[in-house]
Structures are given as structure tokens and as C-alpha cells.
Amino acid sequence: MERLSVVFDLEPVSRYRLARPPLVQALGQVRYPVRARLQTLDGIAPVQERLLDLFPYMNQEQVQHLSLLVGPGAPPTSEAQTTRTWRFTDDAGWSLIVAPDNATLSIGPQYGSFEEFQTRFHAVVVALREEGAVPRCDRLGLRYVDIAETPPGNEGAWQTWFRPELTGWSASSVVGPDTRIITSITQTQLAARPVGELAGPPVDIQAIIRHGYIPPGTVVPGILAEQTTNGAFLIDTDLFIEGHQPFDADELTREVTMLHDQVDRFFRWALALAGQEYFGLESVD
């Protein structure tokens, strides 16, 4: 379980909960070689039956991909291709989108615990393996999007909620008292080699961290775009493993659990004392 300890040099986090969590979306995704059968109703039906207790509703969606074709001596032409995907939902806010080459599990502010996310993720991988005949995972990813909106009349509150290492110079006295911050976003990409005898696929474990102040009306892309009402501080933590490995439910769930451990360590580290108080952090035995 130590293979990801090199991504963030942070201590393990004891269990906690937030009374007012800023999380707007948690997403887990597996990508795999194209399975044409997952575009058809007959092909997706066994997957639906396997997941019926978790996702009682299914809708068909059409995703259009537009490609530009350019050739010598001929005007550019565009060609549209449509992919059929399936959206599984329940009454609690969970969503699963299954496409011929990927599946994405997501939950919004209704998120309760990672244990529930973990259970559903495992069930999805089992269904895709056994009913969808998916043989291999090409990419495994976990993304948590936190948007901490500031209260009206206290637009600068975000400057105290998070550690100075995260808020940066734009939250310091460098910015004049009469100067408004319109937006300030930083993106950092990391890569770490897996360590330990049970390191799994010999590929880098990667992280993309986006954080900073975003103005009212900002749309943060995800499975469902989130638009802010007030100014807010964004922490978008995306960890993933790219590399071929067997589509094994137990191993992929173990890996997504370790990715979550790193996301959790980073977010807990990011909170300053004022943020802990504002979001209502309390330890859980």
C-alpha cells in the first residue's frame, strides 16, 4: 500500500468529516480498448441487469465527435461521428456513463463517504469485466473537484481558508488593498514512479493539480459543468495511472483506493486552521 507515498510527501490522514464540505464532484474513470458491443442495446443489457440494484435507471445518449479532413488541392471538409453512450442513475445523485472505450462513475455534493464510492466502483468494474467482456484497463483515474465559494460581503475569506503555499502571492499583501483579484489559477503536473514489490504496472503515477481563485459565473468542466455563484477558491485534484493492466476488479479498486489516499492527504494538508473551522472539520473515530 506504499506505492503512491512518493506523490505527496505527507503524513497519512486520520478519519474526519466536514459539516460544510466544498466538494462539488468526485469522479472515477477506467479506460479500455473499444468494445463495440457496449454501443448496442443488446450489448449493454447484461451490464444494466448486473448493476440494477445500484443504478435502477438507464438512458441512451448520443455523443457527436467532429473531425476536420484536410487534403492537398481540396477544400477542408468536416466529418461527424456519433457514439452511443449510456447514463445510469439512481435517486441519490450517483451517475455512471458507459461508453465503448471508457466508464465514468461520479457523484456530486451528495457524496457521503469514499467507502460508498469504493463499493460502487468495484461493482462497475466487475460488471464491465463479466458482462461487457472488457479485457484490459488502459487508464485509471480519480478526480475530486472542490469549489469553496465565499460568503457575500466577505469575498476575501478564501485567503485564510487555505495554506499560503496554495493561495500564493495573490493572497498576500503584495496585492494592493483597493485592487480586485479577477482570477488566479495555477496548474501543476507531477509524475512519480511506483515503489515497492507490489507496485503493479511499471508506469508513472501522475497528478494534475489546479487551484486558485475563480470569479462568479465560472464554469468548471466535469461530467456536469459546475458554475459558481460567488467568487470561489478551486482545488481540482486529478490523479491517474496510464498503462496496460488486467481488468481485475480487486486490483483496480485497490489502486483507486490508494489514489484517494493521496487526494485526501493533499486536501487535508491544504486546509488552514480558519478553513478547518469554516468547513466544520471534526475527527471520526
- Give the DSSP per-residue string, 35-77: -GGGGSHHHHHHHHHHTTTT--EEEEEEEEEEEEEEETTEEEE
Work out the burial of residue 54: count CB atoms within 10 Å of its CB; fewer than 13 is exposed, 13-18 middle, 19 or more buried: middle
DSSP SS3 for 174 = coil
Whether pLDDT at 38 is above 90: yes
As a whole number, mean pLDDT of residues 268-282 equals 97
Any domain includes 82: no
In a domain, 64, yes or no: no
Domain that holds residue 54: 16-58+93-283
Decide which of 146 and 82 is more confident: 146
In a domain, 134, yes or no: yes
User: Within a domain: residue 128?
Assistant: yes
Mean pLDDT over each residue of the chain, to the nearest integer = 88
User: What's the CA gap between 210 and 185, in Å, rounded?
Assistant: 7
Is 85 part of a structural domain of the chain?
A: no
Q: Which residues contact 245 (CB under 8 A, 6 or more apart)?
A: 136, 137, 200, 201, 251, 252
Q: How far is CA 173 from the centre of its chain?
A: 33
CB atoms near residue 23 (< 10 Å)? 18
Residue 171 is assigned to a structural domain of this protein: yes
Q: How confident is the model at residue 73 (pLDDT cuts 50, 70, 90)?
A: low
The residue-averaged pLDDT of 221-237 equals 83
Under 8 Å between Cβ of 207 and 190: yes
Is the residue at 110 inside a domain?
A: yes
Q: Which residues of 179-188 are buried (b: 16+ CB within 10 A; e: fewer)?
A: eebeebeeee
Of 244, 253, 236, 270, nearest to 28 by C-alpha is 253
Total domains in the chain come to 1
Read off the pLDDT of each residue in 84-109 and give the average, rounded to a whole number: 96
pLDDT in tens, 141-190: 999 999 999 998 888 899 999 999 999 888 888 888 888 888 999 999 99
> What pLDDT is attached to residue 199?
45
pLDDT at 74: 58
Q: Please give the average per-residue pLDDT across 266-283, as a whole number.
A: 96
Q: For residue 145, tell me if it sits in a domain.
A: yes
**pLDDT at site 70:** 57
The confidence score (pLDDT) of residue 172 equals 84
How far is it, in rounded angstroms, from Cα 281 to Cα 46? 42
